[in-house]
Amino acid sequence: MRSLAQPRVRRLGGLEVVEFPASPEAPTIVCMHGYGADMRDLAGFALGLELKAPARWLFPNGPLELSWGGRAWFPIDEQRLNAYGRGEGAFDLSGLRPPGIDAARDAVLELVAAAELPWDRVILGGFSQGAMLAVELALASPEAPAGAFLLSGNLVDAAGLAARAPARKGLRFFQSHGTLDTVLGFSGGKRLHEALTAAGWQGTFLDFEGEHGIPREALDGLGTFLDSLL
């Protein structure tokens, strides 16, 4: 395993982050947690992926603190989400722009600016709601990032994505999604992949037989993708 500097908690811009430092020339991976988790939830990636080249990892906290202690990037209708988990209809954000996503995007853009990161050395990614935000950041960043990884995300604001995504033609991305996902449906993940590839993004879609999560096969695929960028 490649040795890593000890992680530290610090503030960049207005967000608290868990940081695994690396040398100044190493690329930076900004990885965003899902709804209800926090900055520590995915920090094990930095230790478990055993990448072939060094990378700096930043795991930021979502700006919203939920009543039961978790964090979020933007509000969601929990009743709709829970109903979908019970098989009652579909949780679909493709036809709207969620309130709060712009503020979350701006908070992470401020983080990247505070860290003085060149965008062509930034890899954006996340799980679930964090994956949705990673797409929005890749669309809104002042320059194209080096790549993106989208773990169990879904299509958000399909019309806005179709209008903006061609400006990032050629952007490389990795996507994974469980075929049995009852939180963010598999069909929404496929629709996201189709929308991005239609806009000229260059991506791989890994489906796995499982629920809303990140199994070993998804981690292996992510590691291979990150190695190809690093």
Give the pLDDT confidence score for residue 76 in this predicted structure.
86
Pick out the chain residues at pLDDT < 50.
1
Q: At a CB cut-off of 8 Å and minimum separation 6, what does 15 contact? A: 60, 61, 63, 107, 108, 110, 111
pTM of the entire predicted model? 0.94
pLDDT for 152 equals 97
Give the pLDDT of residue 92. 84
Q: Is residue 92 part of a domain?
A: yes
- Number of structural domains found in the chain: 1
Spatial contact of 175 and 140, defined as CB atoms under 8 Å apart: no
pLDDT at position 157 is: 96
Q: What is the pLDDT of residue 77?
A: 77
Distance CA 57, CA 125 (A): 11
Q: Is residue 77 part of a domain?
A: yes
Continuous segment of H or E residues that includes residue 71: strand 71-72
pLDDT value of residue 1: 44
Q: What is the pLDDT of residue 68?
A: 84
Q: What is the pLDDT of residue 84?
A: 66
Does residue 127 form part of some domain? yes
- Tell me, yes or no, whether 31 lies in a domain: yes
List the CATH number of the domain containing 142.
3.40.50.1820
Domain hosting 156: range is 8-229
